Amino acid sequence: MSATLFGCTPPPVDATLGEAEWRPFVEANSFGHLVAAGRDRDVPVVVPTQFVLEGDTIRLHLVRTNPLFAALAENPRLLLSVAGDWTFIPSSWKAVGDEDPRLGIPTTYYGAVQLIGTATVHDERTAPGSVAAVLRRQLQALQPDIPAADPEVAHPQKVLSILGLSIAIDDVSAKFKYGGNVDEAHRLAVVGHLVERNGPGDAAAAGHVLRRLGSGAPPAQSPTTPSRPRPPGWPEWPPSRIWHVRRYGGPGRDRSL
């Protein structure tokens, strides 16, 4: 099974740079939508959920009565869609120098990753300790510094009311749309506007633009404005708001879409 983001192949300038890019993004945006097609359904089952990504496995839990489990009984294949760090870029921001701001084309910056795999359902009634193990992994990942009672000991009846899910990932699609279709000068101009506006999503989007400019990926060239280095005196982005690209080993199954 394979999939493309939004039913089409994005241009190369928006393609992921690889696992070192999409994995930190997913880990930092650990809330997504599970999509289970089942069999012969008019529409798939879509469930928003918190999750934990560990290596090649996604772990989460849902209430036992969630309709997702009926779809998984028909077909254990499913997709987890994660999108975030989005912000709207007004048309006037796309102009630099003497360019007419009225002719700018508005857009939206965002990151999106789709993880595809096969689900294993954990049921405390048939496999004691299996759901509690998923809950422990989630607690360790989501609140590592906050003590919590062991769910199997403190909440045995509540644990019986939920099911755990482990999803073995075998395919990854990713897209990072952060102005890769224009040259460095235009991208830095947008970053300046994002810094000034400082609205929801602006800091993360600006960080992605700067990160990808420094990633080694060749910037697109504008026919009217040559690429230029970062302007002298350009303020450093707060380290806590910049993406720190980490290197991961592994089989490198990700696809650039």
Q: Are 245 and 25 in contact (CB under 8 A)?
A: no
Q: Which amino acid is at 107?
A: T
The confidence score (pLDDT) of residue 34 equals 98
Residue ranges in the chain whose pLDDT is less than 70:
1-10, 215-257
Q: According to the model, what pLDDT value does residue 151 have?
A: 87
pLDDT of residue 11: 83
Residues 123-172 have pLDDT tens digits of 999 999 999 999 999 998 889 999 999 888 889 899 999 999 999 999 99
pTM above 0.85, yes or no: no
Q: Are 67 and 163 in contact (CB under 8 A)?
A: no
Could you count the other beta carbons within 10 Å of the beta carbon of residue 239? 8
Secondary structure, 3-state, 64-124: CCCCHHHHHHHCCEEEEEEEEEEEEECHHHHCCCCCCHHHCCCEEEEEEEEEEEEEEEECC
Could you tell me the CA-to-CA distances from 146 to 73, 142, 143, 151 in Å, in that order?
36, 9, 5, 14
